Amino acid sequence: MKLSSSFNCNGHVRGSGENRISLVLATGTVQTTKAVVVVELTVKAAVRDVLQPKVRNGWLLARVKAVAINPTDWKHVAWAAADVRCRVGCDYAGVVEEVGANVTNFQPGDRITGWIHGSNRANHEYGAFAELAIAKACVQMKVPDNMSFEEAPSLGVAHMTVLAKLSGLTVITTSSTRNFDLVKSLGADAAFDYNSPTCGKDIKRFTNNKLLYSWDCTGDGAGICAAAMSDAEPGTYGTIMPADYELLARTNPKVTGQEFMCGYDTQGEFYYWLGDVPVQPDPTEMEFYRMFLELTQRLLESGAIKPPRMSLNKMGGGLEGVAKGLAEMQAGLVLSAEKLVYTI
């Protein structure tokens, strides 16, 4: 795959036949680092010593200072989407240690944040929950001077959804009732209780039956979204997980289609979705994401985007704390609106 040189993204690992990096150990000292890895399929991840990842063309090596946990991290382990030895974790912040060829937007010593496609069957070197991690340089950001290492990884890809408010759109969200004030303070124009059986109908009433677009950022809200959308005009439902087409059609026939979008596509790398579905890279998706990263960088520096509230080092700090936090989240013991962040 040939990528635009303007994005300095020439470090692609090619498709199904070449999608694993082979490591040949020469004589001498083998460099290792610690990382949270899958140790037992569908059961758990734990801290282990692993080979230090190698920097290549278009990539960089970062010393990780802080990470944030997402549901996708434990789900990849529990659902066997990741196999044994996969390094876990996506969201991180740290300091650049080394840059590969053709990397011009970072240099050693820079504070960096972004996300990595961890729990990746296609390459066991990828994963943010580690002392040292490799990241594709063109889809990372510099940590603004007004932001700490602990705040930076809490952004994840959420900075993409806040652009709706900054674009002048009316933003309607769902949450538990106890978080209504919180989400409104973050910019939501209206909030509705996702536990209410009339949630979708309430939103439809609020929007006067004119809602044409919905974005399901959990993947299990198809019923609420379809019920909320207009039944007078065709509308589009977007989601991070494939939805129940029959449920959509039964709830609202005017919802004409499902726009399924997976954030992993923005890395521009081959991967296996849900463990066994091969996904070929689409450089246009990566470049589209990169365009918004540049905007996000400026908005963060100006203070227009602020990080969410976080819970720091719950269950203990370091990688051991991360492993415990994964188990805590999987068990449903993490409060809603609580972002788990750990210092490394």
What pLDDT is attached to residue 262? 83
What pLDDT is attached to residue 22? 35
What distance in Å separates the CA atoms of residue 241 and residue 264, rounded to the nearest whole number? Answer: 12
How many C-alpha atoms does 318 have within 13 Å on its Cβ side? 6
Dihedral sign (CA 39, 40, 42, 43): negative
What distance in Å separates the CA atoms of residue 19 and residue 154, rounded to the nearest whole number? Answer: 29
What pLDDT is attached to residue 219? 83
In this structure, which topology does domain 5-155+307-343 adopt according to CATH? Quinone Oxidoreductase; Chain A, domain 1 (3.90.180)
Q: Is 222 helix (H, G, I), strand (E, B) or coil?
A: helix
Contact 62, 98 (CB under 8 A): no
Contact 19, 270 (CB under 8 A): yes
What pLDDT is attached to residue 28? 52
Q: Which two tokens stand for residue 120?
A: 């990746």
**Taking the model in full, what pTM does it have?**
0.85
Domain 160-260 listed as CATH 3.20.20.210: no
What pLDDT is attached to residue 4? 33
How many C-alpha atoms does 88 have within 13 Å on its Cβ side? 34
What distance in Å separates the CA atoms of residue 194 and residue 336, rounded to the nearest whole number? Answer: 12
Q: Where are the domains of the chain?
A: 5-155+307-343, 160-260
Q: Which positions of the chain have pLDDT values less than 50? A: 1-27
